[in-house]
Structure 1
Protein backbone atom coordinates (compact mmCIF):
# COMPACT_ATOMS: atom_id res chain seq x y z
CA UNK A 1 0.00 0.00 0.00
CA UNK A 2 2.77 2.45 0.90
CA UNK A 3 4.53 1.75 -2.40
CA UNK A 4 1.29 2.40 -4.29
CA UNK A 5 0.75 5.66 -2.43
CA UNK A 6 4.30 6.80 -3.15
CA UNK A 7 3.82 5.94 -6.81
CA UNK A 8 0.74 8.15 -6.85
CA UNK A 9 2.67 10.99 -5.22
CA UNK A 10 5.39 10.83 -7.88
CA UNK A 11 2.80 10.49 -10.65
CA UNK A 12 1.12 13.67 -9.46
CA UNK A 13 4.49 15.42 -9.23
CA UNK A 14 5.32 14.48 -12.83
CA UNK A 15 1.95 15.67 -14.12
CA UNK A 16 2.42 18.92 -12.20
CA UNK A 17 5.86 19.32 -13.77
CA UNK A 18 4.41 18.97 -17.26
CA UNK A 19 1.61 21.42 -16.48
CA UNK A 20 3.98 24.07 -15.12
CA UNK A 21 6.24 23.92 -18.18
CA UNK A 22 3.24 24.14 -20.51
CA UNK A 23 2.02 27.13 -18.55
CA UNK A 24 5.31 29.05 -18.21
CA UNK A 25 7.00 28.03 -21.44
CA UNK A 26 10.47 27.07 -22.60
CA UNK A 27 12.33 29.04 -19.95
CA UNK A 28 10.81 26.83 -17.25
CA UNK A 29 12.25 23.53 -16.07
CA UNK A 30 10.65 21.29 -13.45
CA UNK A 31 12.57 18.37 -12.01
CA UNK A 32 11.17 15.51 -9.94
CA UNK A 33 13.60 13.80 -7.57
CA UNK A 34 13.19 10.42 -5.86
CA UNK A 35 15.38 10.25 -2.77
CA UNK A 36 15.57 6.45 -2.84
CA UNK A 37 18.86 6.84 -4.75
CA UNK A 38 20.46 10.24 -4.18
CA UNK A 39 23.21 9.53 -6.72
CA UNK A 40 20.59 9.24 -9.45
CA UNK A 41 17.65 11.03 -7.85
CA UNK A 42 16.44 12.92 -10.94
CA UNK A 43 13.67 10.65 -12.22
CA UNK A 44 11.68 13.09 -14.35
CA UNK A 45 12.45 16.34 -16.16
CA UNK A 46 9.96 18.62 -17.88
CA UNK A 47 11.66 21.31 -19.93
CA UNK A 48 15.42 21.73 -19.76
CA UNK A 49 17.16 24.83 -18.51
CA UNK A 50 20.05 23.35 -16.51
CA UNK A 51 21.31 20.94 -19.14
CA UNK A 52 20.76 17.88 -16.90
CA UNK A 53 19.32 14.52 -17.86
CA UNK A 54 17.27 11.91 -16.01
CA UNK A 55 19.62 10.01 -13.71
CA UNK A 56 21.46 13.14 -12.52
CA UNK A 57 22.26 13.37 -8.79
CA UNK A 58 20.55 15.44 -6.15
CA UNK A 59 21.73 19.05 -5.68
CA UNK A 60 23.92 20.24 -2.81
CA UNK A 61 21.20 22.59 -1.57
CA UNK A 62 18.73 19.74 -1.15
CA UNK A 63 21.41 17.55 0.49
CA UNK A 64 21.98 20.25 3.09
CA UNK A 65 18.26 20.37 3.84
CA UNK A 66 18.04 16.57 4.09
CA UNK A 67 20.57 16.55 6.91
CA UNK A 68 17.87 18.07 9.12
CA UNK A 69 15.24 16.11 10.96
CA UNK A 70 12.04 15.39 8.95
CA UNK A 71 10.05 17.96 10.90
CA UNK A 72 12.67 20.64 10.28
CA UNK A 73 12.87 20.20 6.52
CA UNK A 74 11.06 23.10 4.91
CA UNK A 75 10.09 23.90 1.32
CA UNK A 76 12.42 26.50 -0.22
CA UNK A 77 10.59 29.16 -2.25
CA UNK A 78 11.88 31.71 -4.74
CA UNK A 79 15.67 31.62 -4.45
CA UNK A 80 18.39 32.52 -6.94
CA UNK A 81 20.47 29.80 -8.58
CA UNK A 82 22.81 29.48 -11.53
CA UNK A 83 23.58 26.55 -13.82
CA UNK A 84 27.04 25.49 -14.97
CA UNK A 85 26.25 26.96 -18.39
CA UNK A 86 25.84 30.42 -16.82
CA UNK A 87 22.07 30.48 -16.82
CA UNK A 88 20.62 32.53 -13.95
CA UNK A 89 17.39 31.18 -12.50
CA UNK A 90 14.65 31.74 -9.97
CA UNK A 91 14.06 28.43 -8.22
CA UNK A 92 11.73 26.82 -5.73
CA UNK A 93 11.83 23.38 -4.12
CA UNK A 94 8.80 21.56 -2.76
CA UNK A 95 9.52 18.40 -0.75
CA UNK A 96 7.35 15.35 -1.34
CA UNK A 97 6.27 13.39 1.76
CA UNK A 98 4.70 10.01 2.29
CA UNK A 99 1.75 9.20 4.56
CA UNK A 100 4.05 9.32 7.61
CA UNK A 101 5.46 12.75 6.64
CA UNK A 102 8.80 11.24 5.68
CA UNK A 103 10.51 13.18 2.88
CA UNK A 104 10.72 10.90 -0.15
CA UNK A 105 11.49 13.29 -2.97
CA UNK A 106 11.18 16.82 -4.30
CA UNK A 107 9.65 18.85 -7.09
CA UNK A 108 12.07 21.59 -8.12
CA UNK A 109 11.10 24.51 -10.34
CA UNK A 110 13.82 26.45 -12.20
CA UNK A 111 12.96 29.48 -14.32
CA UNK A 112 15.57 31.05 -16.59
CA UNK A 113 15.67 34.81 -15.90
CA UNK A 114 18.99 35.52 -17.66
CA UNK A 115 17.46 37.53 -20.50
CA UNK A 116 15.09 39.30 -18.13
CA UNK A 117 18.02 40.46 -16.01
CA UNK A 118 19.77 41.82 -19.08
CA UNK A 119 16.55 43.54 -20.13
CA UNK A 120 16.10 44.90 -16.60
CA UNK A 121 19.58 46.42 -16.69
CA UNK A 122 18.80 48.02 -20.05
CA UNK A 123 15.48 49.36 -18.76
CA UNK A 124 17.05 50.76 -15.58
CA UNK A 125 19.63 52.58 -17.69
CA UNK A 126 16.96 53.86 -20.06
CA UNK A 127 14.59 54.96 -17.30
CA UNK A 128 17.33 56.52 -15.20
CA UNK A 129 17.21 60.29 -14.84
CA UNK A 130 19.68 62.84 -13.53
CA UNK A 131 18.56 63.58 -9.94
CA UNK A 132 20.28 66.96 -10.12
CA UNK A 133 17.87 67.91 -12.91
CA UNK A 134 14.68 67.15 -10.99
CA UNK A 135 11.98 69.43 -12.35
CA UNK A 136 8.26 69.78 -11.71
CA UNK A 137 6.40 69.93 -14.99
CA UNK A 138 2.66 69.87 -15.55
CA UNK A 139 0.98 69.14 -18.85
CA UNK A 140 -2.20 71.10 -19.49
CA UNK A 141 -4.71 71.07 -22.31
CA UNK A 142 -5.54 74.79 -22.37
CA UNK A 143 -3.58 77.98 -21.75
CA UNK A 144 -6.09 78.93 -19.06
CA UNK A 145 -5.12 75.82 -17.12
CA UNK A 146 -1.47 76.83 -17.32
CA UNK A 147 -2.20 80.30 -15.94
CA UNK A 148 -4.52 79.07 -13.22
CA UNK A 149 -2.12 76.36 -12.08
CA UNK A 150 0.91 78.68 -11.91
CA UNK A 151 -1.00 81.35 -9.98
CA UNK A 152 -2.62 78.87 -7.62
CA UNK A 153 0.75 77.22 -6.85
CA UNK A 154 2.31 80.55 -5.89
CA UNK A 155 -0.64 81.89 -3.90
CA UNK A 156 -1.14 78.63 -1.99
CA UNK A 157 2.47 78.87 -0.80
CA UNK A 158 1.51 81.68 1.57
CA UNK A 159 -0.83 79.44 3.56
CA UNK A 160 -3.58 82.03 3.80
CA UNK A 161 -6.55 83.23 1.79
CA UNK A 162 -5.54 85.65 -1.02
CA UNK A 163 -7.76 88.37 0.44
CA UNK A 164 -5.66 88.26 3.65
CA UNK A 165 -2.31 88.75 1.93
CA UNK A 166 -0.35 91.81 2.95
CA UNK A 167 0.91 94.30 0.36
CA UNK A 168 4.43 92.90 0.42
CA UNK A 169 3.07 89.36 0.03
CA UNK A 170 1.08 90.36 -3.04
CA UNK A 171 4.19 91.93 -4.51
CA UNK A 172 6.07 88.71 -3.73
CA UNK A 173 3.39 86.76 -5.62
CA UNK A 174 4.01 88.91 -8.65
CA UNK A 175 7.79 88.50 -8.30
CA UNK A 176 7.55 84.71 -8.10
CA UNK A 177 5.25 84.55 -11.10
CA UNK A 178 7.59 86.83 -13.03
CA UNK A 179 10.44 84.37 -12.31
CA UNK A 180 8.28 81.52 -13.57
CA UNK A 181 7.53 83.37 -16.80
CA UNK A 182 3.80 83.51 -16.10
CA UNK A 183 3.43 87.00 -17.55
CA UNK A 184 4.60 85.81 -20.94
CA UNK A 185 1.10 84.37 -21.29
CA UNK A 186 -1.70 86.74 -22.21
CA UNK A 187 -4.42 86.83 -19.57
CA UNK A 188 -2.21 86.00 -16.58
CA UNK A 189 -2.28 89.58 -15.28
CA UNK A 190 -6.07 89.70 -15.27
CA UNK A 191 -6.37 86.32 -13.58
CA UNK A 192 -3.86 87.17 -10.84
CA UNK A 193 -5.63 90.47 -10.24
CA UNK A 194 -8.95 88.68 -9.76
CA UNK A 195 -7.37 86.21 -7.33
CA UNK A 196 -5.65 88.89 -5.26
CA UNK A 197 -8.65 91.20 -5.33
CA UNK A 198 -6.82 94.11 -6.97
CA UNK A 199 -7.01 95.81 -10.36
CA UNK A 200 -4.89 94.65 -13.26
CA UNK A 201 -3.25 98.07 -13.23
CA UNK A 202 -2.06 97.40 -9.70
CA UNK A 203 -0.45 94.19 -10.93
CA UNK A 204 1.18 96.15 -13.76
CA UNK A 205 2.59 98.61 -11.22
CA UNK A 206 3.99 95.79 -9.06
CA UNK A 207 5.47 94.16 -12.13
CA UNK A 208 7.06 97.39 -13.37
CA UNK A 209 8.73 98.00 -10.01
CA UNK A 210 10.05 94.41 -9.91
CA UNK A 211 11.45 94.60 -13.43
CA UNK A 212 13.07 97.96 -12.70
CA UNK A 213 14.71 96.51 -9.59
CA UNK A 214 15.93 93.49 -11.55
CA UNK A 215 17.44 95.69 -14.25
CA UNK A 216 19.16 97.83 -11.63
CA UNK A 217 20.63 94.78 -9.90
CA UNK A 218 21.92 93.45 -13.22
CA UNK A 219 23.72 96.73 -13.88
CA UNK A 220 25.52 96.67 -10.54
Structure 2
Protein backbone atom coordinates (compact mmCIF):
# COMPACT_ATOMS: atom_id res chain seq x y z
CA UNK A 1 0.00 0.00 0.00
CA UNK A 2 1.24 3.50 -0.86
CA UNK A 3 -0.43 6.43 0.89
CA UNK A 4 0.09 10.20 0.75
CA UNK A 5 -0.93 12.49 3.61
CA UNK A 6 -1.43 16.25 3.26
CA UNK A 7 -0.80 17.75 6.69
CA UNK A 8 -2.81 20.82 5.72
CA UNK A 9 -5.95 18.66 5.55
CA UNK A 10 -5.84 17.07 8.99
CA UNK A 11 -7.64 15.12 10.26
CA UNK A 12 -8.77 13.83 6.83
CA UNK A 13 -5.22 13.88 5.56
CA UNK A 14 -5.15 11.02 3.04
CA UNK A 15 -5.21 12.60 -0.41
CA UNK A 16 -4.01 9.61 -2.45
CA UNK A 17 -3.74 5.89 -1.82
CA UNK A 18 -3.01 2.74 -3.83
CA UNK A 19 -3.90 -0.78 -2.69
CA UNK A 20 -5.86 0.59 0.23
CA UNK A 21 -7.22 -2.90 0.93
CA UNK A 22 -4.01 -3.61 2.88
CA UNK A 23 -5.20 -1.39 5.73
CA UNK A 24 -8.80 -0.84 4.63
CA UNK A 25 -8.37 2.90 4.09
CA UNK A 26 -9.33 5.27 1.30
CA UNK A 27 -8.96 8.91 0.28
CA UNK A 28 -10.27 11.25 2.99
CA UNK A 29 -9.42 8.90 5.85
CA UNK A 30 -7.45 9.91 8.92
CA UNK A 31 -3.86 9.32 10.12
CA UNK A 32 -2.88 6.55 12.51
CA UNK A 33 -1.96 7.03 16.15
CA UNK A 34 1.68 6.45 15.25
CA UNK A 35 1.52 9.21 12.66
CA UNK A 36 -0.06 11.58 15.14
CA UNK A 37 2.65 10.77 17.67
CA UNK A 38 5.23 11.45 14.98
CA UNK A 39 3.64 14.79 14.15
CA UNK A 40 3.65 15.71 17.83
CA UNK A 41 7.42 15.23 17.96
CA UNK A 42 8.27 15.99 14.36
CA UNK A 43 11.42 17.96 15.18
CA UNK A 44 12.77 15.03 17.20
CA UNK A 45 11.89 12.37 14.64
CA UNK A 46 13.95 11.21 11.69
CA UNK A 47 12.44 12.02 8.31
CA UNK A 48 12.74 8.41 7.15
CA UNK A 49 11.42 5.71 9.46
CA UNK A 50 10.98 1.94 9.15
CA UNK A 51 8.91 -0.02 11.63
CA UNK A 52 6.76 -3.12 12.02
CA UNK A 53 3.14 -2.96 13.13
CA UNK A 54 -0.05 -4.96 12.82
CA UNK A 55 -3.59 -4.43 11.58
CA UNK A 56 -6.46 -6.89 12.00
CA UNK A 57 -4.11 -9.85 12.25
CA UNK A 58 -1.82 -8.71 9.45
CA UNK A 59 1.86 -8.03 10.05
CA UNK A 60 2.92 -4.84 8.30
CA UNK A 61 6.38 -3.53 7.61
CA UNK A 62 6.14 0.19 7.03
CA UNK A 63 8.26 2.94 5.56
CA UNK A 64 7.31 6.51 6.43
CA UNK A 65 8.91 9.60 4.92
CA UNK A 66 8.32 13.17 6.07
CA UNK A 67 8.01 15.56 3.12
CA UNK A 68 9.38 19.08 3.64
CA UNK A 69 9.39 22.29 1.61
CA UNK A 70 12.45 24.34 0.73
CA UNK A 71 12.34 26.03 4.12
CA UNK A 72 12.31 22.70 5.95
CA UNK A 73 8.67 22.81 7.02
CA UNK A 74 6.81 19.50 6.93
CA UNK A 75 3.82 19.52 4.60
CA UNK A 76 3.13 15.86 4.01
CA UNK A 77 3.92 12.26 4.80
CA UNK A 78 4.46 9.42 2.36
CA UNK A 79 3.83 5.95 3.70
CA UNK A 80 4.46 2.51 2.20
CA UNK A 81 2.98 -0.48 4.02
CA UNK A 82 4.01 -4.02 3.09
CA UNK A 83 1.84 -6.92 4.19
CA UNK A 84 4.49 -9.42 5.29
CA UNK A 85 2.13 -11.81 7.08
CA UNK A 86 2.89 -14.72 4.74
CA UNK A 87 6.62 -14.11 5.04
CA UNK A 88 6.42 -14.04 8.83
CA UNK A 89 4.42 -17.27 8.86
CA UNK A 90 6.92 -18.91 6.53
CA UNK A 91 9.75 -17.69 8.75
CA UNK A 92 8.08 -19.20 11.81
CA UNK A 93 7.57 -22.49 10.00
CA UNK A 94 11.20 -22.60 8.90
CA UNK A 95 12.31 -21.72 12.43
CA UNK A 96 10.27 -24.62 13.81
CA UNK A 97 11.65 -27.01 11.21
CA UNK A 98 15.21 -25.92 11.89
CA UNK A 99 14.71 -26.19 15.67
CA UNK A 100 15.52 -22.53 16.22
CA UNK A 101 16.55 -21.74 19.76
CA UNK A 102 18.35 -25.06 20.17
CA UNK A 103 21.91 -25.87 19.26
CA UNK A 104 21.82 -27.56 15.85
CA UNK A 105 23.09 -31.10 15.66
CA UNK A 106 26.23 -31.61 13.57
CA UNK A 107 25.49 -32.61 10.01
CA UNK A 108 26.13 -36.14 8.84
CA UNK A 109 29.48 -36.89 7.31
CA UNK A 110 28.92 -38.14 3.77
CA UNK A 111 31.98 -39.62 2.12
CA UNK A 112 33.00 -42.28 -0.35
CA UNK A 113 35.78 -43.65 1.87
CA UNK A 114 35.13 -44.90 5.40
CA UNK A 115 38.47 -43.47 6.47
CA UNK A 116 37.11 -40.03 5.67
CA UNK A 117 34.16 -40.72 7.97
CA UNK A 118 36.42 -41.73 10.85
CA UNK A 119 38.70 -38.77 10.16
CA UNK A 120 35.68 -36.48 10.32
CA UNK A 121 34.63 -37.97 13.66
CA UNK A 122 38.11 -37.44 15.08
CA UNK A 123 38.26 -33.87 13.77
CA UNK A 124 34.93 -32.96 15.36
CA UNK A 125 35.92 -34.34 18.74
CA UNK A 126 39.25 -32.54 18.69
CA UNK A 127 37.45 -29.33 17.73
CA UNK A 128 34.96 -29.77 20.58
CA UNK A 129 37.78 -30.29 23.05
CA UNK A 130 39.73 -27.35 21.68
CA UNK A 131 43.12 -29.03 21.74
CA UNK A 132 45.57 -30.64 19.38
CA UNK A 133 46.79 -34.17 20.12
CA UNK A 134 50.27 -32.82 20.86
CA UNK A 135 48.87 -30.72 23.71
CA UNK A 136 46.69 -33.46 25.20
CA UNK A 137 47.31 -35.43 28.34
CA UNK A 138 46.83 -39.19 28.55
CA UNK A 139 43.40 -38.67 30.10
CA UNK A 140 42.33 -36.31 27.33
CA UNK A 141 43.42 -38.72 24.62
CA UNK A 142 41.52 -41.46 26.39
CA UNK A 143 38.47 -39.17 26.37
CA UNK A 144 38.81 -38.85 22.59
CA UNK A 145 38.92 -42.64 22.30
CA UNK A 146 35.92 -42.93 24.62
CA UNK A 147 33.85 -40.55 22.49
CA UNK A 148 34.85 -42.38 19.34
CA UNK A 149 33.86 -45.66 20.96
CA UNK A 150 30.47 -44.19 21.89
CA UNK A 151 29.98 -43.07 18.30
CA UNK A 152 30.81 -46.47 16.85
CA UNK A 153 34.10 -45.56 15.24
CA UNK A 154 35.73 -48.81 16.28
CA UNK A 155 33.15 -50.88 14.46
CA UNK A 156 35.21 -50.06 11.39
CA UNK A 157 38.13 -52.31 10.49
CA UNK A 158 41.54 -50.74 10.92
CA UNK A 159 40.03 -47.69 12.60
CA UNK A 160 42.28 -48.27 15.62
CA UNK A 161 45.32 -47.73 13.41
CA UNK A 162 43.82 -44.57 11.94
CA UNK A 163 42.91 -43.16 15.35
CA UNK A 164 46.33 -44.08 16.73
CA UNK A 165 47.99 -42.16 13.92
CA UNK A 166 45.74 -39.13 14.46
CA UNK A 167 46.45 -39.06 18.21
CA UNK A 168 50.15 -39.90 17.85
CA UNK A 169 49.76 -43.16 19.76
CA UNK A 170 50.45 -46.80 19.02
CA UNK A 171 47.53 -49.01 18.09
CA UNK A 172 48.30 -51.15 21.13
CA UNK A 173 47.78 -48.06 23.29
CA UNK A 174 44.41 -47.59 21.61
CA UNK A 175 43.51 -51.22 22.44
CA UNK A 176 44.62 -50.61 26.02
CA UNK A 177 42.42 -47.51 26.26
CA UNK A 178 39.48 -49.40 24.81
CA UNK A 179 39.95 -52.22 27.29
CA UNK A 180 39.95 -49.74 30.15
CA UNK A 181 36.93 -47.89 28.76
CA UNK A 182 34.95 -51.09 28.28
CA UNK A 183 35.89 -52.55 31.66
CA UNK A 184 32.93 -51.07 33.61
CA UNK A 185 30.56 -52.88 31.25
CA UNK A 186 32.50 -56.10 31.60
CA UNK A 187 32.62 -55.85 35.40
CA UNK A 188 28.85 -55.67 35.44
CA UNK A 189 28.50 -58.97 33.55
CA UNK A 190 28.99 -62.51 34.79
CA UNK A 191 32.51 -63.87 35.05
CA UNK A 192 32.06 -66.15 32.06
CA UNK A 193 30.85 -63.32 29.86
CA UNK A 194 33.76 -61.12 30.93
CA UNK A 195 36.22 -63.88 30.16
CA UNK A 196 34.63 -64.42 26.77
CA UNK A 197 34.86 -60.71 25.99
CA UNK A 198 38.48 -60.56 27.09
CA UNK A 199 39.27 -63.51 24.86
CA UNK A 200 37.42 -61.85 22.01
CA UNK A 201 39.43 -58.66 22.47
CA UNK A 202 42.61 -60.70 22.42
CA UNK A 203 41.60 -62.29 19.14
CA UNK A 204 40.68 -58.84 17.76
CA UNK A 205 44.10 -57.47 18.70
CA UNK A 206 45.80 -60.48 17.16
CA UNK A 207 43.83 -60.06 13.95
CA UNK A 208 44.72 -56.37 13.83
CA UNK A 209 48.36 -57.32 14.21
CA UNK A 210 48.19 -59.56 11.15
CA UNK A 211 46.45 -56.98 8.91
2:26 is the alignment partner of 1:30 = no
Q: CA RMSD in A?
A: 3.5
Structure 1 40/120 Cα, relative in aligned 2: closer, same or farther at 3 Å? same
TM superposition shift of 1:71: 3.7
In 1, Cα distance between the equivalents of 2:160 and 2:45? 74
2:53 is the alignment partner of 1:53 = no
Alignment of 1:129-168 (within 5 A): 131=102, 135-141=105-111, 142-152=113-123, 157=129, 159-161=132-134
TM superposition shift of 1:143: 0.5
| Stretches of structure 2 lacking an aligned partner (at least 5 in a row) | 192-211
Q: Deviations over 1:126-160 (max 9, x none)?
A: 222694x9644541312011222334556785654
Provide the secondary structure at the position in 1 that maps to 2:188: helix
Alignment: residue pair count: 186
2:24 is the alignment partner of 1:79 = no
In 2, Cα distance between the equivalents of 1:175 and 1:149? 16
Partner of residue 24, structure 1: none
With a CA cutoff of 8 Å and minimum separation of 6, indicate the structure with the bigger relative contact order.
Answer: 1
Structure 1 152/88 Cα, relative in aligned 2: closer, same or farther at 3 Å? closer
Mapped contact 2:109–2:120 kept (Cα < 8 A): no
Query: Taking structure 1 as the reference length, what is the TM-score of the superposition?
Result: 0.65
Partner of residue 123, structure 1: 94
In 2, Cα distance between the equivalents of 1:41 and 1:172? 72
Query: Taking structure 2 as the reference length, what is the TM-score of the superposition?
Result: 0.68
Greater displacement, 36-45 / 173-182:
173-182
